[in-house]
């Protein structure tokens, strides 16, 4: 919990204090208890998950070591990582994901916020688009069939039309499978709340509409890439589930709820939902 970053739009570091990590023994126990109560997928989450850093009697654990510990000491079927800062996506983390035999979901929600370097600078983000591009390329090379998601803020103070077009173009280049698009909103007590160049509401609305349209197009494209591929699916309700890459999927209703199954989707139905039901006509 907590965060040591100082993004100019965020109040979390004031509200939650400095980053601190939970004893890995507590994490393992929580996972064991959840599995004992029937959970098949566990999401590891934190305000800044990638900054996990525990020093104890058994040594120094970062996020990759924590994941390995959970996989060794629990029977969890699948772990999923919540959002993570791009510079925390290390070679070691990617190696753990790739060698997990599917027990770590092939999905990374790599926080972006903007695809424009000048906007990232004003946001107080600690990476450039070139660094982000490099990290994602490494991740896709290391983890088979990896899906990548992100957060994007449109209309950050000072964002010009040119800045927005750069951000839109970068997101298109990245080919995200999932995007959370937010209009900038002022948080009292943050530097961004009083920055010059606040973007008018009508411009915010237009930029949000265009970014969301791109997000939907990319999600459909990403979903189509999973047709005829074997997918590990958590059955969440009769006839419905979620894949490791975080796509909704239609299933035969005979599959038991709260199980992990392997299926092969044969089409995509709107909105970007995979269909693995047997005997369904191949029409859209």
- What is the tally of helices (H) and strands (E) in the chain? 8, 13
Check pLDDT > 70 for residue 62: yes
- Residue 281 pLDDT level (bands cut at 50, 70, 90): very low
* Cis check: omega of the bond before 257, within 30 degrees of 0: no
Rounded distance between C-alpha atoms, residue 110 and residue 244, angstroms: 16
**Residues 168 and 108 grouped into a single domain:** yes
Residues 145-161 have a mean pLDDT of: 98
Closest CA to 250 of 261, 230, 265, 260: 265
What is the extent of the structural domain holding 66?
12-224
**Residues 25 and 93 grouped into a single domain:** yes
If you ran DSSP here, which 8-state letter would residue 226 be given? T
Domain total of the chain: 2
Flag whether 4 is in a domain. Answer: no
Flag whether 130 is in a domain. Answer: yes
Flag whether 38 is in a domain. Answer: yes
**Residues 19 and 154 grouped into a single domain:** yes
Flag whether 128 is in a domain. Answer: yes
Q: What is the CATH number of the domain that holds 34?
A: 3.80.30.20
**Residues 128 and 261 grouped into a single domain:** no
As to burial, measured by CB atoms within 10 angstroms (0-12 exposed, 13-18 middle, 19+ buried), residue 257 is middle
Flag whether 284 is in a domain. Answer: no
The pLDDT assigned to 279 comes to: 57
As to burial, measured by CB atoms within 10 angstroms (0-12 exposed, 13-18 middle, 19+ buried), residue 98 is middle
Residue listed under structure tokens 């994941």: 67
Output the six-digit token pair for 189. 């007590």
Find out whether 27 and 73 touch, Cβ atoms under 8 Å.
Answer: no
Closest CA to 83 of 50, 36, 125: 50
- Residue 67 pLDDT level (bands cut at 50, 70, 90): very high
Flag whether 255 is in a domain. Answer: yes
Residues 18-22 have a mean pLDDT of: 88
């Amino acid at each position: 919990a907590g965060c040591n970053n100082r993004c100019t739009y965020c109040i979390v570091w004031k509200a939650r204090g400095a980053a601190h990590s939970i004893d890995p023994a507590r994490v393992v126990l929580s996972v064991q208890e959840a599995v004992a109560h029937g959970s098949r997928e566990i999401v590891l989450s934190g305000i800044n998950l990638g900054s996990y850093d525990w020093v104890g009697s058994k040594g120094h654990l970062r996020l990759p070591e924590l994941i390995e510990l959970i996989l060794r000491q629990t029977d969890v079927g699948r772990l999923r990582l919540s959002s993570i800062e791009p510079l925390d996506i290390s070679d070691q983390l990617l190696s753990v994901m790739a060698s997990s035999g599917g027990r770590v979901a092939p999905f990374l929600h790599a926080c972006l916020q903007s695809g424009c370097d000048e906007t990232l600078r004003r946001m107080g983000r600690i990476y450039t688009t070139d660094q982000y591009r490099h990290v994602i390329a490494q991740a896709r090379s290391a983890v088979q069939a990896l899906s990548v998601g992100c957060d994007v803020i449109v209309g950050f103070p000072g964002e010009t039309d040119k800045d927005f077009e750069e951000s839109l173009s970068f997101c298109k280049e990245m080919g995200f499978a999932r995007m959370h698009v937010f209009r900038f909103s002022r948080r009292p007590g943050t530097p961004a709340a009083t920055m010059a160049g606040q973007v008018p509401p009508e411009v915010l609305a237009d930029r949000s509409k265009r970014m969301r349209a791109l997000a939907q197009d990319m999600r459909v494209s990403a979903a189509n890439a999973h047709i005829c591929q074997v997918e590990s699916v958590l059955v969440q309700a009769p006839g419905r589930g979620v894949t490791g890459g975080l796509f909704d999927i239609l299933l035969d209703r005979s599959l038991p709820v709260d199980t992990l199954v392997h299926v092969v989707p044969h089409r995509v139905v709107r909105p970007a939902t995979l269909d693995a039901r047997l005997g369904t006509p191949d029409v859209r």
